[in-house]
Structures are given as C-alpha cells and as structure tokens.
Structure 1
C-alpha cells in the first residue's frame, strides 16, 4: 500500500445504510429496551462513577465547596454534546455510538481512534469503578483483607471478581441483564435521596466559607476532572439496535438521563461540602466518612453499602457498552472478525481484559485518561453533526474548512489557558490571541450558508438538535478547552494511546476494512441484506464483483465510498 492509498483509506467515509454493515445475530438484535429502560441505563451508567469516585478529590484538592459549580460547568459542556449525540443517534441508530457517527462523518482512521477512545471510556472506566467499588466495600466490611480490597495493596481480588461476574451475567443477554440494571439503579437512586435527605438536616453553612478557595481556575480544573462523572448518557447510544423505536427513544433517553443525573450531582455535592470542611474530605469514601464524622454511623454504613451497589451497576453498564463498540468495529472489518460474530464472545473477551486491568491498576491512574478519551469522543460527535448538517444544507465547500479551523482554534485556546494558569505564558496571550482565534472562525461559520441551501433533507430524523450550529460549536469549544485542563501525565498517556491505536489501524484495519471492497459498498445487496456470518458477507462481495459491470456499479446510488 502506497502512502497515498493509506491516506485515502484513512479518510474514506461510510455512507449509512443497513447493507453496509454486518448485523447482529438474531438472538442479540431482539428489541427489548423501552424508554424507561434506556433512561435507567443512562442514569445507572453515570451516577455512581462520578458522585462517589471523584467528588471527594475534586472538592478537596481543586475547587472546594465550589465543586457544585464545577458539576454545573461540566454538565453544561456535556449538555451541548448530549444534544449532538441525540441527533446523531436518531440518524444512525446502531450499536457503534460515536464510532459509527465518526465513520460516517469524519473518516475511517478518525472513527477507529474514536472507537479506541470509547474503549478507554467504557472498558477502562469499568476497571476504575471496580477498583473504587472494592475500596467502598472495605469501608462497609472492615474485616476484609487488604489483598482482597486493594486498599493498602496494588492487587485487588474483589475488583477482578466483580468484573468477571458481571461479564458472565451480561453474556447471557440484555433481556435478562436489563432487570438487574433497572433494579439496582432504582435502589441506588434511593441511596442518593437518603444522602440528600439526611444530609440536609446536618449541614453546617460555615463549611461553605470560603466558597471559592481555589478561585475560578479551580472550578474549571475540577470541571475537567469530574467530566468522567457524566460518562453514561452516551452509552445509551450503544443500545440502539436493541431499543424499541430507537430513532425516537434513544435521543429522548439521552436528554432525560442527563438532566436527572445533573440535578442529583449538584444537590449531593452541596450536601457533602456542607457536612465536612472541604479540606478534611476523604478521597476514597467521601460520603460515608462525612456522615460518620457528624454522628450518623448507620447512615454512613447504608451509604457505603449502597455505593458499592451503585458502582456495581455503573460497571455493568460500561461492560455492556464496550463489547458493542468492538462488535461494530469487527463487522466493519477494523477489528478481527471474531468480534463480529457474537456479543457473547465479545463480552467475555472484554471482561477478561478489564478484570485483569481492575486487579492491578490504581483508580486515579485511570480516571484522567478516561476523561481525555471521553472528551475526544464527544468532540468527534459535535464535529460530525456540524459536517452532517453542512453536507445537507450548505451550498459552499468552505464551511468544513472553517469547522476544522474552529477545532484547532479551540484547542489552542485551551492550551494557552493552561499555560497562562501555570505562568508559562503571560495571561494577555490568552485574551489577545486564543479567544479571537476561536471567535473569527465561529462568526464565519454562523454567517455562512449553513441553513440557506436549497437542498432540503427529505427524511429528517426524529430528533433534531436545536440552535445548530451554536450548540455543536459550544460543544466543540468546551470539549477542546476541558481536554487541555487535564494533567500533563494524562495527556501524554492519551497521546501514546492514540499513537499505538493509529499503528494498529495501519497494520490491520486499513487492509481489512469492508470499505476497502468497493463492490460491497457501491452495490445494494439482494434480498433483505442480512448475512449469517462475516464469510457470507465477503462471498456476496466477491459475487457482486464478478457479475456486475463496472458502469452499473458506479451508477448505483445506494452506497458511496467517499474519499477525500
């Protein structure tokens, strides 16, 4: 493969069509998830991880009582991306989530990298949650040995056991697993209401003074750190192929779960910093230790046990989402075909990897890297929505260039802000250079022919993001800005992960992608477009290639491989 062919392969885009992908097996495509299932799935995926894993550290070391503002800022940044996710999920209701969105909008290599970022978001976050779950269990059951909980040890057997057990349950199928997730989410929500209810009668308002001990810089830094808290709403998109009326229910579930989680985060964090002075917060188990310090040991024990239950649920949601990303990548040919054959195989394989990771890696070493991967996935979704709307409505080819310029300018804005905060650059550079660099392309985009084209969408999706391009522009800016507020160690680890992922793509994905076979993509398959296996799909491609004249293939409107 020459360099030019590699470049073309990296940027070829997958036109969305049911014939362009290998569907799930009939057993796993049974549509069993209703709107309430999806909402509980999103709440369960987000609520435990951020509230009990990161709130203590963010309040004590970064923002103080103003951590409530940090949750609001992170929620606003997520809301912009959530609206973009909602529209793209309505346009492409399949199990790939942001990976599938990126494949249709950005290209093959960006999609592969987004898929690997989602692996950080789902698989690695499940390991982080399992590790924290073991720590909370140690607080609830003090006689457990350290080698089991990992509190004073590098190894955590309980974290390993949790991931392994959940993987086995999820491998049985979503019809059975959804009941486990729904019940545990409801029970966990009751624990949160107990925190808010009992805590509201025991807060000391003096603990909120000073409210901004680290200034607004601390609020922004904490917002980036707790962005991991909102991981969950995007996991709903991976359940699209198993959702009833996915084009309508998935976007609605994303918005509803996002609003519910935000309210509970803000209220709970306000109670936490009111119970105990922020400087005295326990990082590993902030809520249970705080209740014990105000003379409520029974509530503290209930909170500790309930937290372990909630984290079990959060880990289960992440472990449910991860195999579906690999399955989508596998049936597109970007990962080995084993992942495309069965969700059960993919679930067990992912579970084995994540369980080993949970056993030996410390939680905080994972959290910031996970946040970085999440931010990149959100960034890709916002940009994809902008490009999708541009290709539908705009009559000028200059708009995509302006969009990419805005992404670069937003990244520079975040970088300059971080350098100015660390005194590496004077603060005036941030005001004079970075902010105008973002505003100019944004204004160009707003005054472009974004909505003025004559090409009207024939079949609009069930959900359309409001205020486009403002919402995805804000989503793009906030994700880029927050990305550069992460630690240098986390950014270095994230860059290393992307480099390794790129190498894997060029060594395997570029050669084995289904889009590499033009005949398969350009021609509509006969019948209902379903195949029993990956091999049947390849045989169909070869049959089309040998029987169909080239001029007929090129004239087919069904699918197009869009090279740069």
Structure 2
C-alpha cells in the first residue's frame, strides 16, 4: 500500500451516487458564490489595505488579486465540470495527486472554512455591536471580547455560529433560498453606497495615487486575496447541481467576476471620498459616509455589512460540512461524519462538530491568527488545484470536459506561483500556527486515515 494511491474516475463517481438531492441551478450557484465571497473583504479590510499599503491604488491591487483568482477559478471550473462531486480540492487531489495530497488538500479546506468562518463571526460581532451602539444600546464589553483581550467570550459570534449551523441542518434548498435573499440585501446596500458616494468623490484625494509605490500595490494584492476567497464553495456543491457541466463554470467564474467589478468600484469611490490615510478602520465604508454626513446611508451599509458576513459564514460552513462528509465517505475520517439526516438529507453530524469547534475558535481566540491561518490554508489549496488541473491535462487528455480552462498551463502556473509567494509572505507573521495545524492534520492521517480509507480496504480485500 502507498500513501500516494489514487481513486479512479469510476470510484469517485460510484461513491457519489445518490448522496444529495440535485436542487441547484446556475443562478443558485452564482448566488452561493457571491454569498461566500462578499463580506469581510469589502466591508472591513478595504480600509486598512488603503491606509497601510496601496492608497488609492487599491483599485489596481483589486484588479491584480482578481486576475489571480480568475486563473484559479478557471482551474476549479474545469476540474469541477470534469469531476462533479462534493469535496472540491480534496476530491480533485484524490484522483490526480494521490491520497496523502488529497488528505492535505482536505485539511487546508477544513482550515480555511473553520478558521475563516470563525474570523467572519468575530467581524460580524463587531458590526452588530457597533450598530447597536449607534442605536443607543451598549452591551457589556466582557461578553464582546476574547480572554486574550481581557474579556470572557465573544458571545454574539457564538450565537451567530450556532444559528447558521442549525439553519444548514434543515437543508440545501432552504439555505440557498435564504442566502439568495441575503445576497440581494447586501448587494443592494453596496449599490446604495455607490450612489451615495458619487456626489462626494473628490479627485484631489487621488493626487497621491500610489503613496508606497509598486511595493505597496503588491502588498495590497496579497492582503486582498482573502477578499476573493469563497468561490471554491461552489465547486464543493457539485453533487447538488442539476447540470454540473454547464452550471459549475458559470457559478464559479460568474461569481468571481461580478465581485471583482463591485470591489473595484467601491474601493475607487472610497478612496475618492476621504484621504486614504484616514481609512485605517474596521468599517471604512460606514466611516466615509458618516464623515460626509450621510448618516442614513451609514445605517444601511452597516446592515449590508452584517448581511454580507452572515452569507459568508453560511457558505463557508456549508462548504466545510461537504468536505468533511466526503472525507468520511472515503474512510479518512470516522464514518459518523458521513451520515445524512433522515428528514433533511444533510450531513448533520459534521455540522454539529463544526458548531462545537467554531464556538470555541470564534468565541475565545484572537481574530488576527484566525484570519492569517485561513488565508494560508486557502492559498495552499489553490496550489493543489493548479497542479491538479495541469497534471489532469497531461495524464487524461481525452477525458470528457464540458469546460476547458484556456491557456491552462500558463494560467494555472501563475496561480500556483502567486499563491506560493503569498503563503511565504503570510508565514512571516503566523507560520507557526499554520505549521502546527498542518502537523496535526498529518498525524491524524498517519494514525487513522491511512489505515481506514476506502482505498486501504480495497487493497486488503484484493
């Protein structure tokens, strides 16, 4: 037996037969993608990236980060249409790269969505408490901050985590419907910001367009990559698609492209409304509106921020539960995580475990480390996807593909190189935490996954 053993196309297809109801179309997938992408990136980190790194040239940083993400999204789209199965990067790696790489890809996706959703829950808590304070309601500080910051626990973050996990247990279609409603609300809030911001745009604020030169733009690009993460959730929903060959590429590429356009417009208006160095705040859009006297617009944008982060958490936990389900179905996690609810047909045991873990992380751990580990995990999974799509073209050139990534070796190589470089930069800050998580993942594979995987059982019975 070997840690590099692979699953065949047929094995993957057979394991997926009859697992989920096929309820999602192209529109649902685009809404899922937008719901997963737009959140902290546009409502929170746009301000700090402008103030610390790129200045008004944040628009250029968004373009560059968006291009890298489009390259990665094209690779995801080809693999998702070729292998329309739950699990995303994990499942692709199992077929193309081998079991140990599939395990690590699965770990990266788990880390991304677990730490990422916990990070967003913390940001959601800040927006909610800020809006309540604006309305004259102040909550005890001890129940809003983690122990490392002198508090007891971030209670709002805990409550939103439990609420979302409970919603997802009820089913995909119900969750997708609520997600679509929330997407329209938050996109509406962004459009209101755009309309309110145009009269206050002052070209003078763009005079120092690139205050830190090209280095600032590159640093901004790295910091903004997280703003686009989430489109991989669409690939994880492959088994629930009505027409995956057509709808998956539309869902993945369409959601990234639409979000990129919104990001560029908003960041351009934001840095034109107020001097970039004033935007070092966790609520830049709201701050810009308040400074220009648009208090009603501020309230709407705050609601949009809360809504945006709610949909991001919804889709991150959705994707995480599907990856855990896929790994349990393959025997690399305990079989209990591969069980579906008898009534709702959802992976309820996986969702229950996610709820417990995220209550601990979002309620008791600092947001900085959570965010950086999530970013590195996201980039690492993108490296695996880029390598997998190139290897698939070489080893399976005649496999039926309903979508082909154009210039695949160029685009996928750019994605792999850019993602690796950004991991290197982020590792300077929180590399130890990321490394510990990777080592724990490998230990679980050696102790449990290697011996209990479905491929291991196949070899034993042969």
Q: Tell me if TM exceeds 0.5.
A: yes
Superposition deviation, residue 309 in structure 1: 1.2
- Alignment match, 2:355: 351
1:54 and 1:94 map into 2 onto residues whose CA distance is 33
2:52/2:280 contact within 8 Å kept:
no
1:365 and 1:473 map into 2 onto residues whose CA distance is 29
Query: How large is the RMSD of aligned CA atoms in angstroms?
Result: 1.8
The secondary structure found in structure 2 opposite 1:478 is helix
- The answer as to 2:138 corresponding to 1:144 is yes
Segment drifting more, 66-75 vs 360-369: 360-369
The secondary structure found in structure 2 opposite 1:335 is coil
Superposition deviation, residue 19 in structure 1: 6.1
The secondary structure found in structure 2 opposite 1:251 is helix
The secondary structure found in structure 2 opposite 1:223 is helix
- Alignment match, 1:118: 109
Determine which of 409, 412, 415 is the counterpart of 1:475: 415
- The answer as to 2:368 corresponding to 1:364 is yes
Segment drifting more, 476-485 vs 285-294: 476-485
Superposition deviation, residue 363 in structure 1: 2.3
Q: Bigger relative contact order, structure 1 or 2, given CA contacts below 8 A and separation 6+? A: 2
1:144 and 1:356 map into 2 onto residues whose CA distance is 24
Q: Deviations over 1:201-241 (max 9, x none)?
A: 11222222311111111111121112111112111011111
1:19 and 1:110 map into 2 onto residues whose CA distance is 16
2:427 and 2:205 map into 1 onto residues whose CA distance is 28
2:14 and 2:457 map into 1 onto residues whose CA distance is 13
Superposition deviation, residue 78 in structure 1: 0.7
- Alignment match, 2:155: 157
Q: Deviations over 1:73-95 (max 9, x none)?
A: 11111111110000000111111
1:53 and 1:241 map into 2 onto residues whose CA distance is 33
1:134/1:150 contact within 8 Å kept:
no
- Alignment match, 2:343: none
1:22/1:340 contact within 8 Å kept:
no
1:53/1:129 contact within 8 Å kept:
no
Q: Closer, same or farther in 2 for the Cα pair 1:21/1:345, shift >3 Å?
A: farther
Where in structure 2 are there 5+ consecutive unaligned residues? 341-346
1:377 and 1:487 map into 2 onto residues whose CA distance is 15
- The answer as to 2:438 corresponding to 1:505 is no
1:375 and 1:384 map into 2 onto residues whose CA distance is 14
Q: Closer, same or farther in 2 for the Cα pair 1:19/1:278, shift >3 Å?
A: closer
1:463 and 1:182 map into 2 onto residues whose CA distance is 26
Determine which of 173, 176, 198 is the counterpart of 1:175: 173
- Alignment match, 2:197: 199
Determine which of 356, 360, 378 is the counterpart of 2:382: 378
When normalised by structure 1's length, the TM-score is 0.77
The aligned runs of 1:272-351 (5 Å cut-off) are: 272-342=270-340, 343-351=347-355
The secondary structure found in structure 2 opposite 1:12 is coil
1:496 and 1:220 map into 2 onto residues whose CA distance is 28
- Alignment match, 2:25: 34
When normalised by structure 2's length, the TM-score is 0.93
Q: Deviations over 1:321-360 (max 9, x none)?
A: 1110000111111111111112122112212211221111
2:16/2:239 contact within 8 Å kept:
no
2:104 and 2:425 map into 1 onto residues whose CA distance is 21
Determine which of 85, 101, 109 is the counterpart of 2:100: 109
1:502 and 1:130 map into 2 onto residues whose CA distance is 27
- Alignment match, 1:560: none
The aligned runs of 1:260-275 (5 Å cut-off) are: 260-275=258-273
Q: Closer, same or farther in 2 for the Cα pair 1:275/1:149, shift >3 Å?
A: farther
- Alignment match, 1:449: none
Superposition deviation, residue 308 in structure 1: 0.6
Superposition deviation, residue 168 in structure 1: 0.2
- The answer as to 2:424 corresponding to 1:484 is yes
1:204 and 1:465 map into 2 onto residues whose CA distance is 41
- The answer as to 2:174 corresponding to 1:234 is no
The secondary structure found in structure 1 opposite 2:425 is coil
Q: Closer, same or farther in 2 for the Cα pair 1:487/1:217, shift >3 Å?
A: farther
Where in structure 1 are there 5+ consecutive unaligned residues? 394-456, 521-544, 551-564
1:170 and 1:114 map into 2 onto residues whose CA distance is 23
Q: Deviations over 1:137-179 (max 9, x none)?
A: 1221102312344397542100100010010011011121111
- The count of aligned residue pairs is 449
1:20 and 1:14 map into 2 onto residues whose CA distance is 10
1:368/1:486 contact within 8 Å kept:
yes
1:40 and 1:153 map into 2 onto residues whose CA distance is 39
The secondary structure found in structure 1 opposite 2:55 is helix
Q: Closer, same or farther in 2 for the Cα pair 1:206/1:148, shift >3 Å?
A: farther
Superposition deviation, residue 21 in structure 1: 5.8
Superposition deviation, residue 193 in structure 1: 0.7
For the pair shown, the structure with the greater C-alpha radius of gyration is 1
1:100 and 1:186 map into 2 onto residues whose CA distance is 31
Q: Closer, same or farther in 2 for the Cα pair 1:20/1:505, shift >3 Å?
A: farther
1:283 and 1:16 map into 2 onto residues whose CA distance is 49
Superposition deviation, residue 69 in structure 1: 1.2
The secondary structure found in structure 2 opposite 1:517 is helix
The aligned runs of 1:336-485 (5 Å cut-off) are: 336-342=334-340, 343-393=347-397, 457=398, 459-485=399-425
1:271 and 1:313 map into 2 onto residues whose CA distance is 24
Superposition deviation, residue 20 in structure 1: 6.7
